[in-house]
Structure 1
Amino acid sequence: MFYQLYELNHAALQPYRALADATKLFYDNPLNPLSQTVIGRSITAGCELFERTTRAYGKPVFNLPTTVVDGEEVEIREKTVWSKPFCNVIHFKRALPSKRAADPKILVVAPMSGHYATLLRGTVEALLPHAEVYITDWVDARTVPLTAGRFDLDDYIDYVIQMFHALGEDTHVVAVCQPSVPVLAAVAIMEANGDRFAPSTMTLMGGPIDTRKNPTAVNILAEEKGINWFRDNVIMSVPWPHAGFMRDVYPGFLQLSGFMSMNLDRHITAHKEFFMHLVKEDGDSADKHREFYDEYLAVMDLTAEFYLQTVDTVFVRQSLPKGEMTHRGKLVDPSSIRTVALLTVEGENDDISGVGQTKAAQTLCVNIPDAMRMHHLQAKVGHYGVFNGSRFRAEIAPRIVQFVNDHAQANRKSNVTPIGKRARG
């Protein structure tokens, strides 16, 4: 019933939101002399703040119309190149000359953890000048009818493998946060099977590979509560009239509540400052607030089976680093990976995936040669800064591009060691 009450609350607020919009329009009208006073601007600011904090945010758009390649601005066209009920793969097709040498193909696997793939807009934007970029656009579970079937962690891994097959050989993968575990598992399975479509490089960024290392509040909560607590307290059925009516999900608004509560004082301060920016007519600062929270407050539901299996496998039992993770009943063995170069990236102040959790992949993938592995700890960034922001653009993205170029398929064959031989380090 909690999900239904949440929806009912939004519906009940609609008349008040309409009143706030009308009041804002009245006091913001340049023909109204009060619009030029502190009182008028304060009323306008209060109305906008109320409207924004009670809004149900829809799926954002990437809005990446152009990029710069070889010093020239080129157009970008979004094209869906692979599609399944719970995910689409979008290609940011650049309008480049046909005779130009091809750039590397990079598949960015976005988190399926409550936010939409557009959260990685900055990640995509930084890579576009250097690569053909594809991204996983996960679908809000409440929009998927029950007739589409289930979707769990095993299905997620199958999806990733199918994506590699669809994109072809010499694809490079960048997994941001949550996908680090299933992407590592998918690559291990492909390598164990001798699959020629295994990616050339794998970049894991701020991911919970081994949550026993430097555990954060998120990790501690999961381990203390246990999987039964999550099953009993956070799983709900999608209410009517959504297309996914009666599907069991982990609602996005609960995930968002958890994230907000971790840094509640920071969010309260940000909204107080937003109010003052509006009163002082500081348009640039207000726009930055709108841009961030339009993205941050847009959330999606996850299927219950995917969420519970992920929590149990990654956070409660830590199956991957213990050598106990399975896929379709078969053991996932990271030591099978030997021809895929590995780059791990962490943030010094990451409060979601603690320092050392992502780097653990370097230890698990023992058969990757030293020349094909790299780790980068980015100073002065938190979780979000690992994949977005000025330091990502200036320091992390160039490393990813260089790593990809250094370990493209044509350059890596001479570095491969026989399977079973342990790499140093």
Structure 2
Amino acid sequence: MKYMATYDLMESARNTHEWLGASARAFASYPLFAMSMNPMLPMMAAWGDVAERSFSRMIAKPDWGIRSIAMPDGQDHLVDEKIVVERPFGNLVQFFVRRRAPMARRVLLVAPMSGHYATLLRSTVASLLPDADVFVTDWHNARDIPVSAGKFDVEDYTLYLVDFMRELGPDTHVIAICQPVPLALAATAYLAAEAPEAQPRSLTLIGGPVDPDAAPTEVTDFGHRVTMGQLEHMAIQRVGFKHKGAGRLVYPGLLQLAGFISMNAERHSRAFAEQILRVAQGEAGDHDAHNRFYDEYLAVMDMTAEFYLTTVERIFKNREIARNVFTVAGKRVDIGAISDVAVMVVEGEKDDISAPGQCIAALDLLTGVDEGKKASHLEPGAGHYGIFAGKSWRLNIRPLVLNFIDANAGGPKAGKKPAVRLAASK
């Protein structure tokens, strides 16, 4: 399937459905039809409205939409997005709060590169901004990166994190979410060997596959069933001439989206059917709950073929992180070399992507870290999304993470460590 024709065929199908939706909405909304009592016309217009919006969102990167935050001084402070480090495959972006002095907490959010944009962490960023200076890894859509920029695999991802950590300095607190958890662990271990003075103060690992075999899920089962040859044949295509990355081998976002939806097809079908009824009855809003969720969920990005394939092969199949045999640029990265970084693990009880047990496996690998600097938390009843952006994050996990950061910030706060260990550990 490594052809431009198949890539362009998917884009043509998406484009056609967007056009059909727009045409149905325009036709059924023709003023003359207002005299008709046929209920199918409002339903047709509603279907067109939902279809046009949904298919158009699949190719647009969502905006962060964080304009301002309320501060204790009673004023709203404007927020600017500033590029700190610019790279071909991703930037280090700061959410700079105007008229605010640098905060004691400096947080690096490591966003996943797993089909969705970093804006999936919008609510996570917004919740941390009042209490910390926040930096985010903002990964680029592979279809927009020229072939001349070269490859990008799990080792390159790890080295990007190394460079970002070096840029921010040793007073940084890293929070890795989902897919990049094992690579953030590897990047920290790389620094421990190559530049120990640049290691972050703390590392918070949220719902990531450090040891995928520790608790099997549908994701890990798929990784074991399919051979690398089959996976490459089924998933990899070449970007069409319409985009800057023409000819680049990628795992297309539209193909990923089809997989996401198929995992919960019944729930998504019901959600769209209910939304069409709400639109037809005039009860839907441009930013209602359905549109807020699906505007983000449907916005997908292509991954480079080498990143996707090396992630499956090295992290899931060969378990190189779990077995502590991961290498970067020919050098083994020993996770046991980490000694001066406090590490906290957060898992969700009902996480069906990275099930409980997969992430906490990191603590066993950290043989060089004192037990007093390790913490873990299992959030009862929380799914994958909830542990970093939902109710569980807002009410329970976020306060634990901030307390953990404060306890390991160095200086006079170091004395708080034992209390936080008890509060954060389960």
What do residues 336-363 of structure 1 show as CA deviations (whole Å, max 9, x unaligned)?
Answer: 1111111111111111101110111111
2:22 to 18, 22, 27: 18
**How far off its partner does 1:197 sit?**
1.3
1:57 to 53, 56, 59: 59
What do residues 76-97 of structure 1 show as CA deviations (whole Å, max 9, x unaligned)?
Answer: 1111111100001111101234
Residue in 2 that maps onto 1:42: 43
Residue in 1 that maps onto 2:179: 178
What do residues 271-306 of structure 1 show as CA deviations (whole Å, max 9, x unaligned)?
Answer: 112122223333369711011101000011111111
Residue in 2 that maps onto 1:74: 77
Residue in 1 that maps onto 2:242: 241
Task: Determine helix, strand or coil for the equivalent of 2:212.
Answer: coil
User: 1:17 & 1:44 partners in 2: Cα distance?
Assistant: 8
Residue in 1 that maps onto 2:207: 206
Task: Determine helix, strand or coil for the equivalent of 2:158.
Answer: helix
1:2 to 3, 6, 15: 6
Residue in 2 that maps onto 1:154: 155
User: 2:227 & 2:141 partners in 1: Cα distance?
Assistant: 26
What is the 5 A alignment of 1:110-149? 110-149=111-150
User: Does the 8 Å CA contact 1:90/1:137 hold for their aligned counterparts?
Assistant: yes
Q: 1:228 to 1:410 in 2, by over 3 A?
A: farther
Q: 1:82 to 1:194 in 2, by over 3 A?
A: closer
What do residues 39-68 of structure 1 show as CA deviations (whole Å, max 9, x unaligned)?
Answer: 554233222123234434300001001112
Report the TM-score when normalising by structure 1. Answer: 0.91
Whichever residue aligns with residue 60 of structure 2, its letter is G
Moved more, 385-394 or 154-163: 385-394
What is the 5 A alignment of 1:84-103? 84-98=87-101, 102-103=103-104
Q: 1:295 to 1:189 in 2, by over 3 A?
A: same
User: 1:11 & 1:68 partners in 2: Cα distance?
Assistant: 40
User: Does the 8 Å CA contact 1:237/1:248 hold for their aligned counterparts?
Assistant: yes
Q: 1:20 to 1:384 in 2, by over 3 A?
A: same
What do residues 83-127 of structure 1 show as CA deviations (whole Å, max 9, x unaligned)?
Answer: 1000011111012344xx633110101001110000010110111
Whichever residue aligns with residue 62 of structure 2, its letter is P
User: Does the 8 Å CA contact 1:69/1:130 hold for their aligned counterparts?
Assistant: no
User: Does the 8 Å CA contact 1:369/1:415 hold for their aligned counterparts?
Assistant: no
User: 1:333 & 1:309 partners in 2: Cα distance?
Assistant: 19
**How far off its partner does 1:8 sit?**
2.4
Whichever residue aligns with residue 85 of structure 2, its letter is W
**How far off its partner does 1:172 sit?**
0.8
Residue in 2 that maps onto 1:421: none
User: Does the 8 Å CA contact 1:20/1:50 hold for their aligned counterparts?
Assistant: no
User: 1:156 & 1:343 partners in 2: Cα distance?
Assistant: 22
User: Does the 8 Å CA contact 2:109/2:136 hold for their aligned counterparts?
Assistant: yes
Report percent identity of matched pairs: 37
Task: Determine helix, strand or coil for the equivalent of 2:230.
Answer: helix
Alignment coverage as a number of residue pairs: 412
Q: 1:25 to 1:196 in 2, by over 3 A?
A: farther
Residue in 1 that maps onto 2:356: 355
What is the 5 A alignment of 1:25-424? 25-26=29-30, 32=34, 41-55=42-56, 56-70=58-72, 72=74, 73-98=76-101, 102-283=103-284, 287-410=288-411
Whichever residue aligns with residue 300 of structure 1, its letter is M
**How far off its partner does 1:415 sit?**
11
User: Does the 8 Å CA contact 2:407/2:415 hold for their aligned counterparts?
Assistant: no
Q: RMSD value over aligned CA atoms?
A: 2.4
Q: 1:19 to 1:333 in 2, by over 3 A?
A: same
User: 2:399 & 2:284 partners in 1: Cα distance?
Assistant: 32
Task: Determine helix, strand or coil for the equivalent of 2:10.
Answer: helix
User: Does the 8 Å CA contact 1:274/1:286 hold for their aligned counterparts?
Assistant: no
Report the TM-score when normalising by structure 2. Answer: 0.91
Task: Determine helix, strand or coil for the equivalent of 2:259.
Answer: helix
**How far off its partner does 1:257 sit?**
1.3
**How far off its partner does 1:370 sit?**
2.2
Task: Determine helix, strand or coil for the equivalent of 2:119.
Answer: helix
User: 1:415 & 1:239 partners in 2: Cα distance?
Assistant: 56
User: 1:297 & 1:333 partners in 2: Cα distance?
Assistant: 38
Task: Determine helix, strand or coil for the equivalent of 2:269.
Answer: helix
What do residues 1-31 of structure 1 show as CA deviations (whole Å, max 9, x unaligned)?
Answer: 321211222344454243124236536x9x9
**How far off its partner does 1:324 sit?**
1.9
Q: 1:405 to 1:34 in 2, by over 3 A?
A: farther
**How far off its partner does 1:168 sit?**
1.9
Whichever residue aligns with residue 315 of structure 1, its letter is F
**How far off its partner does 1:192 sit?**
2.1
**How far off its partner does 1:233 sit?**
1.6
User: Does the 8 Å CA contact 2:22/2:49 hold for their aligned counterparts?
Assistant: no
Task: Determine helix, strand or coil for the equivalent of 1:243.
Answer: coil
**How far off its partner does 1:195 sit?**
2.3
User: Does the 8 Å CA contact 1:78/1:93 hold for their aligned counterparts?
Assistant: yes
User: 1:69 & 1:372 partners in 2: Cα distance?
Assistant: 31
Whichever residue aligns with residue 9 of structure 2, its letter is L
Task: Determine helix, strand or coil for the equivalent of 1:9.
Answer: helix
5+ long unaligned stretches in structure 1:
417-424
Task: Determine helix, strand or coil for the equivalent of 2:357.
Answer: coil
User: 1:288 & 1:25 partners in 2: Cα distance?
Assistant: 24
